[in-house]
Amino acid sequence: MQDIINGFLRFQREVFPERKELYRSLATKQSPTTLFISCSDSRMVPELVTQQEPGDLFVIRNAGNIVPSFGPEPGGVSATVEYAVAQLKVTDIVICGHSDCGAMTAVATCACLTHMPAVANWLRHADAARMINESKPHSSPKERVDSMVRENVVAQLNNLRTHPSVALALAQNRLALHGWVYDIESGAIDALDHNTREFVPLAEHAAAK
């Protein structure tokens, strides 16, 4: 904890004064263009990976970068998605999974989670991805998990489309959805090609646009 406190004191002393105008402009308003949905994993830091400034990303982080389908009792994720799309008018939503994801490893290997009932219940939102992943052959345990990470990104994008605010924005052509997978070891990102349903290196995907 002391390291965190010391970090804040360095920020206050060294970083904040150099960016004072930026923080002043953000003091009373925000206008992010992108909602970034990623895992809570400590190794995945959206602003660092994308090199964005404070105020650029509206971020949701949770175990497994999950977006529950819209339902009669929407929770915090649903409320945040709705606020980002309906109020902040973001133009893009990224769902970003990552390598070596503990949540997706648990799903892919059918790990016993009876000691974590809340986690077990939460990960049921990945059941569609799990069923698809289990229907495919895998050459190794690692490939099984890597595939699960990708299938989960696709499944959560499908869940996202059930949200009324998202459906409306898509129908009005003012919102785009993106599926990414970040590799921790290499620092690379693969992006979902919505036409081929395959994940390709982000640089190639962007060049094809």
Domains and CATH numbers, the chain: 31-207 (3.40.1050.10)
Give the whole-angstrom CA distance, residue 29 versus residue 63: 29
Q: Rounded mean pLDDT of 64-80?
A: 92
pLDDT in tens, 74-119: 789 999 999 999 999 999 999 999 999 999 999 999 999 999 999 9
Q: Rounded mean pLDDT of 132-161?
A: 97
Q: Rounded mean pLDDT of 143-157?
A: 98
pLDDT of residue 192: 97
13, two tokens:
């002393």
CB 108 within 8 A of CB 133: yes
Closest of 163, 150, 161, 162 to residue 64, by C-alpha: 150
Residue 166 scores a pLDDT above 80: yes
pLDDT of residue 123: 96
pLDDT in tens, 120-143: 999 999 999 999 999 999 999 999
CB 205 within 8 A of CB 191: yes
What amino acid occupies position 62? N
pLDDT of residue 208: 62
pLDDT of residue 205: 66
73 band by pLDDT with thresholds 50, 70 and 90? confident
Give the whole-angstrom CA distance, residue 127 versus residue 142: 19
pLDDT in tens, 22-63: 999 999 999 999 999 999 999 999 999 999 999 999 999 999
pLDDT in tens, 187-199: 999 999 988 989 9
pLDDT of residue 204: 77
pLDDT of residue 71: 87
Residue 72 scores a pLDDT above 90: no
CA 34 to chain centre: 11
Pairing of strands 176-182, 198-201: unpaired
- Interhelix angle for 141-160 vs 127-134, to 10°? 140
Phi, psi of 173 (to 5 degrees): 55, 40
207 band by pLDDT with thresholds 50, 70 and 90? low
Closest of 184, 153, 207, 198 to residue 36, by C-alpha: 153
157 band by pLDDT with thresholds 50, 70 and 90? very high
